[in-house]
Amino acid sequence: MSQPIKGRGSAQNPKNRFLKTKLEYEIDPETGQLKKPKTQLLKDHSSDVISRNCSPDIPFDVGLNPYRGCEHGCVYCYARPTHEFLGMSAGLDFESKIMVKYDAPELLKKALAEQNWKPQTLVMSGVTDPYQPIEKDLEITRRCIEILAECSHPLVIITKNHLVTRDIDQLKKLAKIGAVRVTISLTSLRPEITNVMEPRTSRPARRLKAIEELTKAGIPVNVNIAPIVPGLTDDEIVPMMEAAKNSGASSMAYTIVRLPYGVKDIFSKWLEDHFPDRKDKVLNRIRSLKDGQLNRREFGERFQSVGPYANQIKQLINIHKKRLGLEEMVPPLNRSKFKRPENGQLNLF
């Protein structure tokens, strides 16, 4: 059995569900664990940088993901199985072999310049974090935001990283016309949990600091208590809401952990490694919320939780949203100021 690897969320590379063969990764004979991988950057040759959603579960139609795979290494990440489409593993491969869209800014500018493009809320990223550690050096997300700011194009950012504050100068341009919102995800206030559950994200205090800095700059911030892990982090729901409000968040949302495909096994192994005394409690509570399963895949159902405990969580959150003033309705972002880029120049269309 593999052992935990410091700085990584997963300690294994489970079999790819699309492949008949299974790659054998080298085991360190002294530690009995997979050798700690260094992050590899692989060029993504996608010709279109904007992804389009047709799922009734997802509240936006278009997204932009500068990176496929995520160095943050969140063990619960629902995006892990997407690496299997690339012939890789949802485990260590997902967090150490990162596909990079180096041409994302140029492709974005090209897409916005097309005459059939209609301005609509673009979510960055919706799958993997646009501010994962490699962004500090590569600045692909920043260059994309610069283009969106120049074009006055509506943007929503979802991240767990304080690095988003680096781009306040650009985000302020969109905030002035009501065309931006940042969502900061909080999972726990306890570093002893986040250190191993999402090892390369910003620690809780830094995320709260990001909320504070963005709010002071006039950029509206939504906090996402997500994912709630029943039996592990659900006792922190109210403290997280209070901390987010005190830092300046104006609205909130929440989701309960989802464990699609191989994430179920990765997450179960992680519990066994780090919280063995809570493993059965956590998994049984998740089953109680997912109609007896660890995950539901059906459209319209996969993000839903059912049963008495799901209702208890919902009621708890609604009571404290009202108490804390986090009920603010999130207004639609302004699309009316959009300026189409053309031949490197920006013109009103």
What CATH number is given to the structural domain containing 182? Answer: 3.80.30.30
Q: Is 152 part of a structural domain of the chain?
A: yes
Q: Is 344 part of a structural domain of the chain?
A: no
Contact predicate 214/221, CB 8 Å = yes
Q: Is 333 part of a structural domain of the chain?
A: no
pLDDT tens for each residue of 141-175: 999 999 999 999 999 999 999 999 999 999 999 99
In order of 19, 36, 183, 252, 308, the CA distances from 237 in angstroms are 40, 33, 17, 12, 17
- Residues near 255 by beta carbon (within 8 Å), at least 6 away in sequence: 224, 225, 226, 227, 228, 303
What pLDDT, on a 0 to 100 scale, did the predictor assign at position 349?
Answer: 42
Q: Is 187 part of a structural domain of the chain?
A: yes
- Residue 348 pLDDT > 60, yes or no? no
Q: Average pLDDT, stretch 5-25?
A: 87
Please name which of 155, 38, 32, 20 lies closest in space to residue 93, comparing C-alpha atoms. 38
Angle between helices 279-289 and 308-324 (to 10 degrees): 90
Task: Output the average pLDDT for the chain.
Answer: 92
- Residue 236 pLDDT > 80, yes or no? yes
What pLDDT, on a 0 to 100 scale, did the predictor assign at position 300?
Answer: 64
What pLDDT, on a 0 to 100 scale, did the predictor assign at position 335?
Answer: 97
Q: Average pLDDT, stretch 57-68?
A: 86
Q: Is 98 part of a structural domain of the chain?
A: yes
Q: Is 319 part of a structural domain of the chain?
A: yes
**Dihedral over Cα of 171, 175, 176, 178: its sign:** positive
Q: Is 30 part of a structural domain of the chain?
A: no
pLDDT tens for each residue of 295-316: 877 666 767 888 999 999 999 9
What domain range includes position 268?
40-323
Q: Is 17 part of a structural domain of the chain?
A: no
Q: Average pLDDT, stretch 114-126?
A: 94
What pLDDT, on a 0 to 100 scale, did the predictor assign at position 343?
Answer: 62
Tell if the pTM clears 0.75, that is, is over it: yes
What pLDDT, on a 0 to 100 scale, did the predictor assign at position 327?
Answer: 87
Alpha-carbon torsion angle 97, 98, 102, 107, nearest 10:
130
Q: Average pLDDT, stretch 253-278?
A: 95
Number of domains forming the structure of the chain: 1
Question: pLDDT-derived band of residue 270, with 50, 70 and 90 as boundaries?
Answer: very high
